[in-house]
Amino acid sequence: MPRITNPVALIILMCLCEVLTTLDIFAFAALLPYFGELWTLSSTDLGWISGIFFAGYTLAVPVLVSLTDRIDARPIYMAGAATIAISSVGFALLAEGFWTAMLFRFLAGAGFAGAYMPGLRVLVDRYAGTNQGRAVAYYTGCFSLGVGMSYLTAGEVQALFGWRMVFWTTAGAATLAVILVALLLRPVKPVRAVVSSHLLDFRPVLQDRKVLGYVLCYGVHAWELLGLRAWIVAFLAYNYAINGGGWFAPTHAAALGALLAIGASILGGELAVRYGRRRVIGSIMAISAIMACAIGFAGDAPYGVLVVATLIYIIFVQGESAALTTGTLQAAPPGRQGATLAVHTICGFTGGCFGPIVFGVVLDLTGGGATANSWGIAFISLGAAVGMGPLFLMLTKRRVANL
Protein backbone atom coordinates (compact mmCIF):
# COMPACT_ATOMS: atom_id res chain seq x y z
CA MET A 1 0.00 0.00 0.00
CA PRO A 2 1.40 3.47 -0.91
CA ARG A 3 2.50 5.64 2.02
CA ILE A 4 1.22 9.20 2.52
CA THR A 5 3.70 12.02 1.83
CA ASN A 6 1.41 14.89 0.75
CA PRO A 7 1.29 17.52 3.55
CA VAL A 8 -2.49 18.03 3.35
CA ALA A 9 -3.20 14.29 3.33
CA LEU A 10 -0.81 13.85 6.25
CA ILE A 11 -2.64 16.47 8.32
CA ILE A 12 -6.00 14.87 7.50
CA LEU A 13 -4.76 11.39 8.44
CA MET A 14 -3.24 12.42 11.76
CA CYS A 15 -6.23 14.56 12.70
CA LEU A 16 -8.52 11.60 11.95
CA CYS A 17 -6.38 9.28 14.06
CA GLU A 18 -6.33 11.87 16.82
CA VAL A 19 -10.14 11.90 16.85
CA LEU A 20 -10.24 8.09 16.95
CA THR A 21 -7.89 7.90 19.94
CA THR A 22 -9.67 10.77 21.72
CA LEU A 23 -13.13 9.14 21.65
CA ASP A 24 -12.28 7.46 24.96
CA ILE A 25 -11.00 10.51 26.81
CA PHE A 26 -14.28 11.96 28.10
CA ALA A 27 -16.48 8.89 27.72
CA PHE A 28 -16.60 8.60 31.51
CA ALA A 29 -17.13 12.34 32.04
CA ALA A 30 -20.05 12.32 29.59
CA LEU A 31 -21.76 9.74 31.81
CA LEU A 32 -20.71 11.28 35.14
CA PRO A 33 -24.24 11.72 36.58
CA TYR A 34 -25.14 8.18 35.46
CA PHE A 35 -22.10 6.55 37.08
CA GLY A 36 -22.61 8.63 40.22
CA GLU A 37 -26.02 7.05 40.69
CA LEU A 38 -25.07 3.59 39.42
CA TRP A 39 -22.11 3.15 41.77
CA THR A 40 -23.22 5.58 44.55
CA LEU A 41 -20.19 7.85 44.13
CA SER A 42 -19.58 11.27 45.70
CA SER A 43 -18.42 14.30 43.72
CA THR A 44 -14.93 13.73 45.11
CA ASP A 45 -15.01 10.11 43.89
CA LEU A 46 -16.14 11.22 40.44
CA GLY A 47 -13.44 13.88 40.37
CA TRP A 48 -10.78 11.28 41.19
CA ILE A 49 -11.92 8.91 38.46
CA SER A 50 -11.92 11.79 35.97
CA GLY A 51 -8.57 13.11 37.16
CA ILE A 52 -6.77 9.75 37.39
CA PHE A 53 -6.81 9.54 33.59
CA PHE A 54 -4.53 12.57 33.49
CA ALA A 55 -2.36 11.17 36.30
CA GLY A 56 -1.71 8.13 34.12
CA TYR A 57 -0.93 10.45 31.25
CA THR A 58 1.45 12.55 33.33
CA LEU A 59 3.41 9.58 34.67
CA ALA A 60 3.84 7.95 31.25
CA VAL A 61 4.48 11.00 29.12
CA PRO A 62 8.06 11.87 30.23
CA VAL A 63 9.45 8.62 28.84
CA LEU A 64 7.15 8.23 25.83
CA VAL A 65 7.46 11.76 24.47
CA SER A 66 11.18 12.06 25.24
CA LEU A 67 11.75 8.86 23.27
CA THR A 68 10.57 10.69 20.14
CA ASP A 69 13.92 12.55 20.17
CA ARG A 70 15.68 9.19 19.83
CA ILE A 71 13.39 6.92 17.80
CA ASP A 72 10.58 7.32 15.31
CA ALA A 73 7.36 8.43 17.04
CA ARG A 74 5.29 6.08 14.86
CA PRO A 75 5.72 2.85 16.91
CA ILE A 76 5.24 4.83 20.14
CA TYR A 77 1.98 6.19 18.76
CA MET A 78 0.75 2.73 17.76
CA ALA A 79 1.60 1.29 21.19
CA GLY A 80 -0.23 4.15 22.90
CA ALA A 81 -3.35 3.72 20.77
CA ALA A 82 -3.28 -0.04 21.40
CA THR A 83 -3.13 0.61 25.15
CA ILE A 84 -6.20 2.84 24.89
CA ALA A 85 -8.02 -0.01 23.15
CA ILE A 86 -6.98 -2.51 25.84
CA SER A 87 -8.06 -0.20 28.68
CA SER A 88 -11.45 0.37 27.02
CA VAL A 89 -12.00 -3.38 26.68
CA GLY A 90 -11.06 -3.81 30.34
CA PHE A 91 -13.48 -1.08 31.43
CA ALA A 92 -16.29 -2.59 29.35
CA LEU A 93 -15.74 -6.08 30.77
CA LEU A 94 -14.60 -5.55 34.35
CA ALA A 95 -15.44 -2.06 35.70
CA GLU A 96 -17.88 -2.33 38.61
CA GLY A 97 -17.12 0.55 40.95
CA PHE A 98 -14.63 3.16 42.13
CA TRP A 99 -11.41 1.12 42.23
CA THR A 100 -11.84 -0.81 39.00
CA ALA A 101 -12.83 2.40 37.23
CA MET A 102 -9.71 4.10 38.63
CA LEU A 103 -7.50 1.28 37.33
CA PHE A 104 -8.75 1.31 33.76
CA ARG A 105 -8.97 5.10 33.49
CA PHE A 106 -5.36 5.32 34.71
CA LEU A 107 -4.32 2.82 32.02
CA ALA A 108 -6.27 4.77 29.40
CA GLY A 109 -4.41 7.93 30.38
CA ALA A 110 -1.06 6.17 30.04
CA GLY A 111 -2.11 5.02 26.58
CA PHE A 112 -3.13 8.53 25.59
CA ALA A 113 0.35 9.70 26.63
CA GLY A 114 1.68 7.55 23.81
CA ALA A 115 -0.86 8.84 21.33
CA TYR A 116 -1.45 12.59 21.74
CA MET A 117 1.92 14.37 21.70
CA PRO A 118 3.74 11.49 19.94
CA GLY A 119 1.01 11.85 17.31
CA LEU A 120 1.95 15.50 16.93
CA ARG A 121 5.58 14.44 16.56
CA VAL A 122 4.55 11.87 13.90
CA LEU A 123 2.96 14.77 12.00
CA VAL A 124 5.77 17.30 12.50
CA ASP A 125 8.57 14.85 11.60
CA ARG A 126 6.87 14.03 8.28
CA TYR A 127 5.40 17.43 7.42
CA ALA A 128 7.04 19.04 4.40
CA GLY A 129 4.76 22.07 4.08
CA THR A 130 5.79 25.70 4.41
CA ASN A 131 3.95 26.58 7.65
CA GLN A 132 4.44 24.03 10.40
CA GLY A 133 2.63 26.28 12.88
CA ARG A 134 -0.64 25.89 11.01
CA ALA A 135 -0.24 22.11 10.93
CA VAL A 136 0.23 22.19 14.71
CA ALA A 137 -2.85 24.42 15.06
CA TYR A 138 -5.02 22.02 13.07
CA TYR A 139 -3.80 19.04 15.08
CA THR A 140 -4.32 20.68 18.46
CA GLY A 141 -7.65 22.07 17.26
CA CYS A 142 -8.86 18.61 16.22
CA PHE A 143 -8.32 17.44 19.78
CA SER A 144 -11.53 19.35 20.46
CA LEU A 145 -13.27 17.53 17.61
CA GLY A 146 -12.32 14.27 19.30
CA VAL A 147 -13.60 15.61 22.61
CA GLY A 148 -16.91 16.57 21.00
CA MET A 149 -17.24 13.15 19.44
CA SER A 150 -16.35 11.59 22.80
CA TYR A 151 -19.25 13.34 24.55
CA LEU A 152 -21.68 12.72 21.69
CA THR A 153 -20.73 9.08 21.14
CA ALA A 154 -20.89 8.26 24.84
CA GLY A 155 -24.28 9.90 25.29
CA GLU A 156 -25.91 8.38 22.22
CA VAL A 157 -24.41 4.89 22.51
CA GLN A 158 -25.25 4.69 26.21
CA ALA A 159 -28.86 5.69 25.52
CA LEU A 160 -29.22 3.02 22.83
CA PHE A 161 -27.03 0.14 23.98
CA GLY A 162 -25.85 0.79 27.55
CA TRP A 163 -22.63 2.10 29.04
CA ARG A 164 -20.50 -0.98 28.38
CA MET A 165 -21.02 -0.62 24.62
CA VAL A 166 -19.61 2.92 24.90
CA PHE A 167 -16.23 1.49 25.82
CA TRP A 168 -16.38 -1.27 23.22
CA THR A 169 -16.87 1.54 20.69
CA THR A 170 -13.85 3.52 21.93
CA ALA A 171 -11.77 0.32 21.84
CA GLY A 172 -12.66 -0.21 18.18
CA ALA A 173 -11.84 3.40 17.29
CA ALA A 174 -8.38 3.25 18.88
CA THR A 175 -7.68 -0.05 17.11
CA LEU A 176 -8.56 1.55 13.77
CA ALA A 177 -6.04 4.35 14.47
CA VAL A 178 -3.30 1.75 14.98
CA ILE A 179 -4.13 0.11 11.65
CA LEU A 180 -4.21 3.40 9.70
CA VAL A 181 -0.84 4.63 10.99
CA ALA A 182 0.77 1.22 10.46
CA LEU A 183 -0.40 0.99 6.85
CA LEU A 184 -0.21 4.60 5.62
CA LEU A 185 2.90 6.18 7.19
CA ARG A 186 6.52 5.36 6.46
CA PRO A 187 9.17 5.12 9.20
CA VAL A 188 11.46 8.16 9.63
CA LYS A 189 14.50 9.01 11.75
CA PRO A 190 14.05 11.92 14.20
CA VAL A 191 16.52 14.82 14.38
CA ARG A 192 18.85 13.92 17.28
CA ALA A 193 20.01 16.37 19.91
CA VAL A 194 23.47 17.80 19.25
CA VAL A 195 24.58 17.01 22.82
CA SER A 196 23.79 13.52 24.10
CA SER A 197 21.98 13.39 27.43
CA HIS A 198 19.95 11.05 29.60
CA LEU A 199 16.46 10.26 28.32
CA LEU A 200 14.79 12.08 31.23
CA ASP A 201 17.28 14.95 31.49
CA PHE A 202 14.98 17.95 31.16
CA ARG A 203 17.48 20.50 32.48
CA PRO A 204 18.23 22.08 29.08
CA VAL A 205 14.48 22.63 28.66
CA LEU A 206 13.75 23.87 32.18
CA GLN A 207 16.70 26.28 32.06
CA ASP A 208 15.11 28.04 29.09
CA ARG A 209 12.91 30.77 30.60
CA LYS A 210 10.91 31.22 27.42
CA VAL A 211 9.97 27.53 27.29
CA LEU A 212 9.28 27.51 31.04
CA GLY A 213 6.87 30.43 30.72
CA TYR A 214 4.86 28.70 28.02
CA VAL A 215 4.70 25.34 29.79
CA LEU A 216 3.57 26.90 33.08
CA CYS A 217 0.87 28.74 31.16
CA TYR A 218 -0.13 25.46 29.57
CA GLY A 219 -0.41 23.91 33.04
CA VAL A 220 -2.99 26.39 34.30
CA HIS A 221 -4.72 26.38 30.90
CA ALA A 222 -5.13 22.60 31.15
CA TRP A 223 -6.28 22.85 34.79
CA GLU A 224 -9.20 24.99 33.63
CA LEU A 225 -9.85 23.24 30.31
CA LEU A 226 -9.83 19.66 31.58
CA GLY A 227 -11.58 20.57 34.82
CA LEU A 228 -14.37 22.10 32.77
CA ARG A 229 -14.53 19.18 30.37
CA ALA A 230 -14.74 16.69 33.22
CA TRP A 231 -17.66 18.51 34.86
CA ILE A 232 -19.53 20.31 32.09
CA VAL A 233 -22.08 17.54 31.53
CA ALA A 234 -22.81 17.23 35.25
CA PHE A 235 -23.12 21.04 35.56
CA LEU A 236 -25.58 21.29 32.69
CA ALA A 237 -27.40 18.16 33.92
CA TYR A 238 -27.98 19.95 37.25
CA ASN A 239 -29.77 22.75 35.39
CA TYR A 240 -31.50 20.37 32.96
CA ALA A 241 -33.07 18.47 35.87
CA ILE A 242 -34.53 21.73 37.20
CA ASN A 243 -35.59 23.52 34.01
CA GLY A 244 -35.69 20.82 31.33
CA GLY A 245 -34.29 21.32 27.87
CA GLY A 246 -36.15 19.06 25.50
CA TRP A 247 -34.11 17.00 23.06
CA PHE A 248 -30.92 19.08 23.48
CA ALA A 249 -29.29 17.09 26.25
CA PRO A 250 -26.21 18.17 28.25
CA THR A 251 -24.03 15.77 26.22
CA HIS A 252 -25.21 17.52 23.03
CA ALA A 253 -24.25 20.90 24.50
CA ALA A 254 -20.83 19.58 25.58
CA ALA A 255 -20.24 18.14 22.11
CA LEU A 256 -21.21 21.44 20.45
CA GLY A 257 -18.88 23.29 22.80
CA ALA A 258 -16.01 21.02 21.82
CA LEU A 259 -16.70 21.66 18.13
CA LEU A 260 -16.73 25.43 18.70
CA ALA A 261 -13.42 25.01 20.51
CA ILE A 262 -11.80 23.82 17.27
CA GLY A 263 -12.38 27.17 15.62
CA ALA A 264 -11.43 28.98 18.83
CA SER A 265 -8.07 27.21 18.99
CA ILE A 266 -7.27 27.81 15.32
CA LEU A 267 -8.43 31.44 15.51
CA GLY A 268 -6.35 31.99 18.64
CA GLY A 269 -3.30 30.64 16.83
CA GLU A 270 -3.87 32.95 13.87
CA LEU A 271 -4.42 35.97 16.15
CA ALA A 272 -1.19 35.13 17.97
CA VAL A 273 0.72 35.23 14.67
CA ARG A 274 -0.85 38.53 13.68
CA TYR A 275 -0.99 40.48 16.94
CA GLY A 276 1.70 38.90 19.11
CA ARG A 277 1.68 35.62 21.00
CA ARG A 278 2.03 36.98 24.54
CA ARG A 279 -0.58 39.70 24.05
CA VAL A 280 -3.20 37.34 22.63
CA ILE A 281 -2.61 34.53 25.14
CA GLY A 282 -2.66 36.89 28.12
CA SER A 283 -5.86 38.61 27.00
CA ILE A 284 -7.71 35.35 26.39
CA MET A 285 -6.63 33.91 29.75
CA ALA A 286 -7.74 37.02 31.63
CA ILE A 287 -11.20 36.98 30.04
CA SER A 288 -11.52 33.24 30.67
CA ALA A 289 -10.64 33.67 34.36
CA ILE A 290 -13.35 36.31 34.79
CA MET A 291 -15.96 34.14 33.06
CA ALA A 292 -15.01 31.10 35.16
CA CYS A 293 -15.67 33.04 38.35
CA ALA A 294 -19.16 33.97 37.13
CA ILE A 295 -20.55 31.04 35.12
CA GLY A 296 -21.28 28.65 37.99
CA PHE A 297 -23.41 31.17 39.86
CA ALA A 298 -25.71 31.25 36.82
CA GLY A 299 -26.49 27.58 37.33
CA ASP A 300 -30.20 28.24 37.95
CA ALA A 301 -30.68 30.38 34.82
CA PRO A 302 -32.99 29.13 32.04
CA TYR A 303 -31.37 26.11 30.40
CA GLY A 304 -31.00 27.73 26.99
CA VAL A 305 -29.41 30.84 28.47
CA LEU A 306 -26.96 28.78 30.52
CA VAL A 307 -26.02 26.67 27.49
CA VAL A 308 -25.27 29.78 25.41
CA ALA A 309 -23.22 31.35 28.22
CA THR A 310 -21.29 28.10 28.70
CA LEU A 311 -20.55 27.84 24.99
CA ILE A 312 -19.15 31.38 24.97
CA TYR A 313 -17.04 30.51 28.00
CA ILE A 314 -15.72 27.39 26.25
CA ILE A 315 -14.53 29.51 23.31
CA PHE A 316 -12.30 31.54 25.61
CA VAL A 317 -11.15 28.48 27.58
CA GLN A 318 -9.87 26.89 24.36
CA GLY A 319 -8.69 30.06 22.64
CA GLU A 320 -5.04 30.01 23.74
CA SER A 321 -4.41 26.27 23.32
CA ALA A 322 -2.78 26.19 19.88
CA ALA A 323 -0.91 29.44 20.53
CA LEU A 324 0.65 27.97 23.67
CA THR A 325 1.68 24.69 22.04
CA THR A 326 3.14 26.46 19.00
CA GLY A 327 4.99 28.87 21.28
CA THR A 328 6.51 25.96 23.19
CA LEU A 329 7.55 24.15 20.01
CA GLN A 330 9.12 27.24 18.47
CA ALA A 331 11.00 28.05 21.68
CA ALA A 332 12.34 24.48 22.05
CA PRO A 333 16.15 24.09 22.10
CA PRO A 334 17.46 22.55 18.84
CA GLY A 335 17.12 18.76 18.74
CA ARG A 336 15.03 18.72 21.91
CA GLN A 337 11.49 19.07 20.61
CA GLY A 338 10.51 15.74 22.14
CA ALA A 339 11.90 16.61 25.58
CA THR A 340 10.28 20.04 25.37
CA LEU A 341 6.91 18.50 24.46
CA ALA A 342 7.36 16.10 27.38
CA VAL A 343 7.81 18.97 29.84
CA HIS A 344 4.92 20.82 28.16
CA THR A 345 2.56 17.89 28.57
CA ILE A 346 3.76 16.92 32.06
CA CYS A 347 2.95 20.41 33.28
CA GLY A 348 -0.28 20.57 31.31
CA PHE A 349 -1.73 17.26 32.34
CA THR A 350 -0.61 17.63 35.95
CA GLY A 351 -2.91 20.62 35.93
CA GLY A 352 -5.44 18.51 34.06
CA CYS A 353 -5.27 15.90 36.82
CA PHE A 354 -5.83 18.34 39.67
CA GLY A 355 -8.51 20.43 37.93
CA PRO A 356 -11.30 17.79 38.04
CA ILE A 357 -10.30 16.54 41.50
CA VAL A 358 -10.22 19.97 43.15
CA PHE A 359 -13.51 20.85 41.44
CA GLY A 360 -15.15 17.71 42.88
CA VAL A 361 -13.74 18.30 46.37
CA VAL A 362 -15.03 21.89 46.35
CA LEU A 363 -18.46 20.66 45.23
CA ASP A 364 -18.62 18.22 48.15
CA LEU A 365 -17.46 20.89 50.61
CA THR A 366 -20.15 23.33 49.45
CA GLY A 367 -23.18 21.05 49.32
CA GLY A 368 -22.41 18.48 46.65
CA GLY A 369 -23.50 20.63 43.72
CA ALA A 370 -27.08 20.89 45.00
CA THR A 371 -27.18 24.69 44.52
CA ALA A 372 -25.90 27.23 42.02
CA ASN A 373 -23.67 28.70 44.74
CA SER A 374 -21.97 25.32 45.14
CA TRP A 375 -21.26 25.20 41.41
CA GLY A 376 -20.16 28.84 41.42
CA ILE A 377 -17.54 28.28 44.11
CA ALA A 378 -16.30 25.16 42.31
CA PHE A 379 -15.87 27.12 39.08
CA ILE A 380 -13.84 29.73 40.96
CA SER A 381 -11.22 27.00 41.42
CA LEU A 382 -10.82 26.98 37.62
CA GLY A 383 -10.73 30.77 37.35
CA ALA A 384 -8.10 31.10 40.08
CA ALA A 385 -5.84 28.66 38.24
CA VAL A 386 -6.04 30.19 34.76
CA GLY A 387 -5.77 33.68 36.25
CA MET A 388 -2.10 32.94 36.97
CA GLY A 389 -1.38 32.50 33.27
CA PRO A 390 -0.65 36.15 32.44
CA LEU A 391 1.89 36.19 35.29
CA PHE A 392 3.71 33.16 33.89
CA LEU A 393 3.86 34.83 30.47
CA MET A 394 6.29 37.35 31.94
CA LEU A 395 8.92 34.59 31.88
CA THR A 396 8.77 34.52 28.07
CA LYS A 397 10.10 38.07 27.61
CA ARG A 398 13.77 37.27 27.08
CA ARG A 399 15.28 38.49 23.81
CA VAL A 400 15.02 35.85 21.11
CA ALA A 401 13.63 35.58 17.62
CA ASN A 402 10.15 37.06 17.23
CA LEU A 403 7.72 34.44 18.52
Which CATH number belongs to the domain containing residue 87 in this structure? 1.20.1250.20
Averaged pLDDT for residues 361-368:
95
Query: pLDDT for 114-162, tens place per residue?
Result: 999 899 989 988 887 666 777 887 887 788 889 999 999 999 999 999 9
Domain extent at residue 240: 7-189+200-396
Tell me the three state secondary structure of residue 12. Answer: helix
Average pLDDT of the segment spanning 187-214: 66
Residue 195 lies in a domain: no
Would you say residue 63 lies in a domain? yes
Number of folded domains that form the chain: 1
User: Does residue 213 sit within a domain?
Assistant: yes
High-pLDDT (> 70) share of the chain, %:
90
Of 235, 252, 253, the residue nearest 374 (C-alpha): 235
Domain annotation covers residue 194? no
Q: Using an 8 Å Cβ cutoff, are 113 and 19 in contact?
A: no
Write down the pLDDT at residue 197: 56
Residue 125: the pLDDT is 86
Q: What would the pLDDT profile of 379-390 be if each residue is shown by its tens digit?
A: 999 999 999 989
Structural domain contains residue 402? no
Residue 82 has pLDDT above 60, yes or no: yes
List the Cα angle 342/332/265 in 5-degree steps. Answer: 75
Residue 301 pLDDT > 90, yes or no?
yes
Residue 240 lies in a domain: yes
pLDDT of 153 reads 96
In a domain, 1, yes or no: no
Q: Which residues of 322-341 are buried (b: 16+ CB within 10 A; e: fewer)?
A: bbbbbbbbbbbbebbbbbbb
**DSSP helix, strand, coil percent of the chain (3-state; round to 5):** 80, 0, 20
Return the higher-pLDDT residue of 26 and 273: 26
- In angstroms, the CA 83 to CA 77 distance is 10
The pLDDT of residue 263 is above 50: yes
pLDDT the model gives residue 396 = 67
**What is d(CA 224, CA 338) in angstroms, rounded to the nearest whole number?**
25
The DSSP call for residue 401 is: S
Question: Is residue 302 domain-resident?
Answer: yes
Radius of gyration, CA atoms only, the chain: 20
Q: What amino acid is encoded at 177 in this protein?
A: A
